[in-house]
Amino acid sequence: MSFPILSFVTFLPLLGAILLMFIPKDKKGALYTMALAIAFITFAVSLLLYFNFDAKTADPQFVEKGAWLGYGINYHLGIDGISLFLVLLTTFLMPIALLSSWSYIQERIKEYLIFMLVLETGIIGVFLALNLFLFYVFWEAMLIPMYFLIGVWGGKRRIYATFKFVLFTMLGSLLMLVAIFVLYSTYFKATGTYSLDLFDYYQMGLNPGLQIWLFLAFSLAFAIKVPMFPFHTWLPDAHVEAPTAGSVILAAVLLKMGAYGFLRFAIPLFPDAVTKFLPVLVILSLIGIIYGGLMALIQKDIKSLVAYSSVSHMGLVMLAVFSLNLEATEGAIYQMLNHGLSTGMLFLIVGILYERAHTRLIKDFGGVSRQMPVFSAFFLIAMLSSVGLPGLNGFIGEIICFFGIFSSSRLFAILAISTVILAAAYLLWMFQRVMQGPITNEKILSYRDMNKREIGYLVPIVVMMFWMGIYPQTFLRKMDASVTQYISRIKSREKVFVLQPKSPADKLVKEKETKPR
Amino acid sequence: MNSFLALAPLLTIVFGALLVLILEAFIQKENKNYLGYISLLFLIVCAVFCVRSWNANYSYFDGVLHLDQLALLLTFLFLIATAFVMLTGMKYISLQNANFGEFYALLLLALSGMMIMVSTVNFLVIFLGLEVLSVSSYALAGLKRKDEKSAESAIKYFLMGSFASAFLVFGLALLYGASREIAIPEIVAYFSSSAEGQVIALVGLGMVIVGFAFKIALVPFHMWTPDVYEGAPTPVTAFFSVGPKSVGFAVLLRLFASYWNGGFRSDIIHGLLWTIAVLTMLLGNLIALRQKNVKRMLAYSSIAHAGYILVAILARDSAGLVFYLASYLFMNIGAFSALMALSKKDKEYLELDDFSGIGFQYPWIGATFAVFLFSLAGFPPTAGFLAKFYVFSAAVRQGLVPLVIIGVLASLISVFYYLRVIVYMYMRQPERELDIVMENPALFLVLFLCLYGVLQLGIFPGNVLVVIRQAVSTLF
């Protein structure tokens, strides 16, 4: 057996967290060195995934499969074109998030670093798991470190925010758990064997009536995570209260887990239900785009402005996901990466500003760019990337999304364009009020410009923004095969369902027909 | 196989109890710990007997006492629970002015009662074991003689317990009157034979269920639980929350395993259990939300957990039920041990406010307590999650989807109050120094063993599951 590279990437941070426990808590330098070393090694190893990834294969690669608890509960990891870049995004941003915490987190550093690394294991596990049990374990286990990160190191209303975050997410995921039980028992009754393997479920044709309930349960869990309107209310609270690094990870990666869940589970498992609910989902995404944008316009706090911009941007991603065609899906994945980089960077920028000003209210600022020119440049790039300026990554993602959405529905594409207009409005206006004009507040004169550490962790993000904006082929071509297979899986499911009477699915259908529920 | 060896584990424990009682009179107050060590020795000897009788299928008294795999496995679990309770109690009883050697003797006697109950299918013998267990429990609850709450706890437990026993006996009388049988398989056979007098027998069965529902604190027969749990000395509460509950479920498991195997299925009994399960899960969790006292909160949480375990009975998932009992043992005794760790001479810290900031002040107590709470709330990768996973997935396989939805929503409620304790521990500033007694190696040993158990059962339960499946293979 070859080197278990996926397990290594997944569990190395956890191992690092365990090692951190043995370092005395007053040795800040040693703690950070250890955590950063682990995060960098994880990133380096995950790069191997990229270089060894076979772009022509649609099926999961580097697959690791082993017996675990029996009765269908197996250890099954794999990576394909959909999850590859989300994993890379996670491992890329984690060292940056850790570096950004150096001066922000002043107490309980050891516990903080431990939770960050455990969080990384949870997130990577979610993207790699191909067994529903394993997926659920990572999905839930990841809540624990996030709960502590917001609750211990967060702002004034942190306890309210962290409770809201955990309870909202749990509500969705517990109902998803029930749906997983139903799938589990349905598969058992249809075939006589236990399985929780995702690919076994892809083969299973489900009664459309049953699909509706299961799809609702799955998509509630994912819609809360994305978050789609009207399940977004936890997001501004969690973002505003979380420490900078927590917000970065939350916005850049955790939200993607919801969209990823739709792509990996909810849509391909229940294609019939998707077609039924498509109008509702599309309308909710559109509302999310416009509502998020309008709410961002009126925010007084920069961080909650960025948080609402996430709602708007993720609305566009979800609209692209629900367009169910090749361009839109690739665009959605690409836009997820863009959003991870640009919003992640915006949160880092806000964090840098907050460390100096200890406020995030727009009215407290004005003319900051005179005092902090370097900072101003980075802020501008992050903002333009988020707005979608050609040459930067946001433009590519949005344009592919719009092409895809357009080929599904012109009206929706036209409505969706509003995301760009709104983003330009709220971000530029905010930038103008905070950075430009005369210095309105004496305190601003005491702000230092960014130091080397801060520049150091922002530069890689800027490089990636330009790279993704100028040469997207590096990323898109690795996705093609997997996304094509994903689309054909959705489109062909109905035929499989009808034409192959010998499949285990058929037995199930008959069973369901004779016993109307 | 009919062999005197079937009596060996039971005799060991009873002999140990009597020996400790006698020695108690001759041992100085400062040296009461030796009684604990002697009791632990007897527990170990008994455990050795249990392990050696595995697969031997010993029985005695014409098969009335039958050590099948399930009996041995449960006995083994009870031994672990009792050992944990004794270890945690050693320091506690001397700190809390309850330093009586009878603590150990009574625990051993209660244990012997539980062992009798799980090793037989004869209802009269089950009742015998139940009374041995109950009478020792009443005395244990009142161990802190000078403490009002402890006395209240003992009296309440005694009154309600006798009431429940009366129900049980009356139910047994009706069952016997209708069927002329006293052993579980024969009674069930009578039900499936559709003979006369079924209504009376059904009423009898209902009363038996009610009697056990009192013992394992199912809603609406749970009223005594919070007061008794709160008033009793904490190690005893830990014992109550695990021991009598597990043994009650073991008897219900034996009853319903053969009941449903007999092909006979009464909608009334099913509906009764369904309603009780829903009420227990919801009410237990909802009332726990309002508790400010952590010990009382854990009492309500144990009621809610009884509801989840009842789902296992409805789901006919005997392996899941035993696994749940095992997981519950580790996480609940662990949680109570963490409570006991927060105590000093004549003072226990049980209010939610007392927990402010202790997570960072006492990192090990805080971290282990947090893990137990996460496990009770059912977060992966702990035993609590896996236990719920098995039970609920089996229930869905039986078509009990609405019940499972109520169950997961109830556990969502529970997340709130379990996490609230963690909020106090980690997210608030300490209000004052607790200066708790830290020299308590036995208690820390238990904390770590429970932590190990919770994680082992949650991540790699492999061999334990094999043993459990083997043990229950004869049931369904």
Q: Write out pLDDT tens, residues B98-151.
A: 777 788 999 999 999 999 999 998 999 999 999 999 999 999 998 888 888 888
What is the rounded average pLDDT of the residues B306-318? 90
Token digits of residue A202: 């892809």
Q: Does A36 touch chain B (CB under 8 A)?
A: no
Task: Provide the pLDDT confidence category of residue A515 given band limits of 50, 70 and 90.
Answer: very low
- Contact yes or no for A177 and B396 at CB 8 A: no
Q: Cα A112 vs. chain centroid, distance in angstroms? A: 21
A494: pLDDT strictly greater than 70: no
Question: How confident is the model at residue A517, as a pLDDT?
Answer: 38
Contact list, B462 vs chain A (CB under 8 Å): 69
Q: Please list the residues that pair with A197 across neighbouring strands.
A: A131
**Inter-helix orientation angle B123-141/B234-261, to 10°:** 160
CA distance B100 to B96: 11
Which of B99, B89, B106, B130 is closest to B18 using CA atoms?
Answer: B106
| Residue A67 burial (CB count, 10 A) | 9
Q: Output the CA–CA distances (angstroms, integers) from residue B204 to B215, B269, B443, B447, in the order listed.
A: 17, 11, 44, 43
CA distance A332 to A256: 10
What is the rounded average pLDDT of the residues A219-247? 89
Question: How confident is the model at residue B66, as a pLDDT?
Answer: 86
Question: How confident is the model at residue B266, as a pLDDT?
Answer: 67
Task: Give the start-to-end residue ranges of the domains of chain A.
Answer: 145-514
A509: pLDDT strictly greater than 80: no
Per residue in A483-497, is it b (16+ CB within 10 Å) or e — as a string? Answer: bebbbebbeebeeeb
- Contact yes or no for A69 and B374 at CB 8 A: no
Best mutation target, B416, B427, B459, to test chain A (most A CBs within 10 A): B427
Please check whether residue A308 is in contact with residue A299, taking contact to mean a CB–CB distance below 8 angstroms: yes
Token digits of residue B74: 């449960």
The dihedral built from the CA positions of residue B263, B269, B272 and B276, taken in this order, carries a sign that is negative
Question: How confident is the model at residue B476, as a pLDDT?
Answer: 56
**How distant is the Cα of B303 from the closest Cα of chain A, in angstroms?**
21
Residue-wise pLDDT tens digits, B159-188: 999 989 999 999 999 989 888 888 888 888
For residue B423, give the nearest of A137, A159, A182 by CB distance: A159
For residue B397, give the nearest of A147, A167, A185 by CB distance: A185
Question: How confident is the model at residue A503, as a pLDDT?
Answer: 45
Residue-wise pLDDT tens digits, A288-336: 999 999 999 999 889 999 999 999 999 999 999 998 888 889 999 999 9
- Contact yes or no for A188 and B404 at CB 8 A: no
ipTM of this predicted complex? Answer: 0.90
What is the rounded average pLDDT of the residues B341-356? 83
Question: How confident is the model at residue A27, as a pLDDT?
Answer: 84
Task: Provide the pLDDT confidence category of residue B12 given band limits of 50, 70 and 90.
Answer: very high
Residue-wise pLDDT tens digits, B323-343: 999 999 999 999 999 988 888
For the ranges A131-135, B99-103, B467-471, the lowest mean pLDDT is seen at B99-103
B343 by DSSP, 3-state: which? strand
**How distant is the Cα of B331 from the closest Cα of chain A, in angstroms?**
17
Q: Decide the pairing of beta strands A61-70 and A73-79.
A: antiparallel
Please check whether residue B407 is in contact with residue B304, taking contact to mean a CB–CB distance below 8 angstroms: no
A493: pLDDT strictly greater than 70: no
Task: Provide the pLDDT confidence category of residue B345 given band limits of 50, 70 and 90.
Answer: confident
The dihedral built from the CA positions of residue A117, A119, A121 and A124, taken in this order, carries a sign that is negative
Residue-wise pLDDT tens digits, A196-207: 888 888 887 788
Average pLDDT taken over every residue of chain A: 86
Task: Give backbone dihedrals phi and psi of A266, rounded to 5 degrees, phi first.
Answer: -60, -45
For residue A178, give the nearest of B379, B380, B408 by CB distance: B408
What is the rounded average pLDDT of the residues A345-353? 91
A498: pLDDT strictly greater than 70: no
The dihedral built from the CA positions of residue A43, A49, A55 and A57, taken in this order, carries a sign that is negative
- Residues 115-134, chain A: which have Cβ within 8 Å of B? 133
B469: pLDDT strictly greater than 50: yes
What is the rounded average pLDDT of the residues B69-92? 91
**How distant is the Cα of B392 from the closest Cα of chain A, in angstroms?**
8
DSSP H stretches of helix in A129-157: 132-141, 143-153
A70: pLDDT strictly greater than 90: no
User: Which of the 8 DSSP states describes residue A174?
Assistant: H
B219: pLDDT strictly greater than 90: no
**How distant is the Cα of A218 from the closest Cα of chain B, in angstroms?**
14
DSSP H stretches of helix in B262-400: 267-289, 294-314, 318-341, 358-361, 363-377, 383-397
* Contacts of B19 by beta carbon, 8 Å cutoff, 6+ apart: B38, B42
What percentage of chain B has pLDDT greater than the value 90? 44
Task: Provide the pLDDT confidence category of residue B196 given band limits of 50, 70 and 90.
Answer: low
Token digits of residue B310: 């009842």
Question: How confident is the model at residue A512, as a pLDDT?
Answer: 46
Contact list, B426 vs chain A (CB under 8 Å): 148, 151-152
CA distance B286 to B416: 10
Task: Provide the pLDDT confidence category of residue B58 given band limits of 50, 70 and 90.
Answer: confident
Average pLDDT taken over every residue of chain B: 88
- The Cβ-side half-sphere exposure at B265, using a 13 Å CA radius, reads 9
Question: How confident is the model at residue B125, as a pLDDT?
Answer: 92
Q: Does A136 touch chain B (CB under 8 A)?
A: yes
Q: Output the CA–CA distances (angstroms, integers) from residue B128 to B117, B134, B247, in the order listed.
A: 8, 10, 13
- Contact yes or no for B392 and A166 at CB 8 A: no
CA distance A370 to B323: 66
What is the rounded average pLDDT of the residues B202-213? 89
Question: How confident is the model at residue B39, as a pLDDT?
Answer: 92
* Bond before A24 cis per omega within 30 degrees: no
Task: Provide the pLDDT confidence category of residue A511 given band limits of 50, 70 and 90.
Answer: very low
The whole-model pTM stands at 0.91
Q: Does A21 touch chain B (CB under 8 A)?
A: no
- Contact yes or no for B423 and A151 at CB 8 A: yes
User: Which of the 8 DSSP states describes residue A228?
Assistant: P
Q: Please list the residues that pair with B65 across neighbouring strands.
A: B60
Question: How confident is the model at residue B65, as a pLDDT?
Answer: 87
Residue-wise pLDDT tens digits, A79-112: 988 899 999 999 999 999 998 888 887 888 888 9
